Amino acid sequence: MTLEFFDMIADVDITALPKWDEKTFIDKSRPVSKAIVNEYNEIRCRRYGWAGSVVAEFLHEYYEISRDSLRRMLTVSVGDDLVILLLKRVLMFDNANYLRIDGLPISVQGKEGHEQLVLDAIARNKLSPKIQVVDAERKLIESWGYTNREGGNDTYNFVYHLPSRWDYINRSKWRSKNGINKVKPLIIQDCVDEKSYESMIKLTEMWSEWKDEHHGLRAKKLAKGIKEHAKKNNPVVKYYMINHVTTRYTPNIPIGFAVYILTTNNMAHLVVNKPLAHTNFEPNDEYEESIKRYSGRLLYYHTMEELQKLGVEHVFFGGVFSQKTLAEHKKILTDDQIGSHIYRLYND
């Protein structure tokens, strides 16, 4: 256990949960704490291997960049033990909302009995109606008597093993087919200095207009968060800006921008991925058209090249919920996926 004394001070004792209602459960939850989430992630990965890794949205570094207020946490004391809950605020169309538990409760002492006690108390007092678990957790939650699973099987996370994947994508045939050998020279920066930030803003603005036209807009807030967080030089957050170097008479073309967060057990989570292809960039000739067409694969290949130099073994690309086209795209780039399942904790 790596938690400090103050981290072990619980938000609530299990004996107080019967006095709470659903609103209190929401109000008492708090933003993710780096130490608490890291502890949760360490224990979960020890139990389930890489399949136990939490999604990037729960990582403290992601919160610092995005200020995502939907991901929350709560700690419950059971005797001298601390049980950690990760929570997601679910907003409904009728303005009603609730906190869904994301993953089984985790005891820092590794006591599954304490974890079940906390979940049972939450269910019995109707503090949260639902819990989301991954494939590896289904056997345990059903052994606790929670068997009312909702339909569907969304993907919690797409993942692949980088060493074996790199051997495949670094072959000359794959590089030629995907434009890696064609589009040169490139500048690959692993930090956000003023020049790379200008390229990122340019790319983000083009992406914002494209998103505004196709899917809706939330890009500038993220770009601002990236710039502010990059100044901290956090060693576990890797920023990769890739520019195509043209002639001295024409400006560089930003090919793509990606952000990865490094976590326990040599894992990396993709949290931002902006290729030129998903912007309103208008090519001037066939060569620039090929740059735009191959930009996604160029960003993918060169960031994987950088990550494998760091010794990363597993890369996570995030989940997909009800987006078939995105799911198909991520399946092409990955080897495996972690399924998610929603269980009801009580019947209305």
Region 192-199: what's the mean pLDDT?
Answer: 68
CA 348 – CA 292 distance, rounded (Å): 52
Give the pLDDT mean for 280-287: 84
Q: First vs last Cα of the chain: how many Å apart?
A: 38
Tell me which range, 131-140, 147-156, 280-289, is most confidently predicted by mean pLDDT: 131-140
Residue spans of the domains in the chain: they are: 6-154+339-344, 158-320
222 CB neighbour count, 10 Å cutoff: 19
As a whole number, the mean pLDDT across the chain is: 85
**Band of pLDDT at residue 324, cut at 50, 70 and 90:** low
Q: Domain 6-154+339-344, what architecture?
A: 3-Layer(aba) Sandwich (3.40)
CATH number of 158-320: 3.40.630.30
pLDDT tens-digit series, residues 308-317: 999 999 999 8
Which tokens belong to 150? 């909702």
Q: What is the pLDDT of residues 69-103, one digit of tens each?
A: 889 999 999 999 999 999 999 876 655 688 999 99
Would the CATH topology of 6-154+339-344 be identical to that of 158-320? yes
Between CA 259 and CA 165 the distance in angstroms is 19
Q: Encoding tokens for residue 240?
A: 């990769």
Give residue 202's pLDDT.
Answer: 72
- Give the pLDDT band of residue 269 (cuts 50, 70, 90): very high
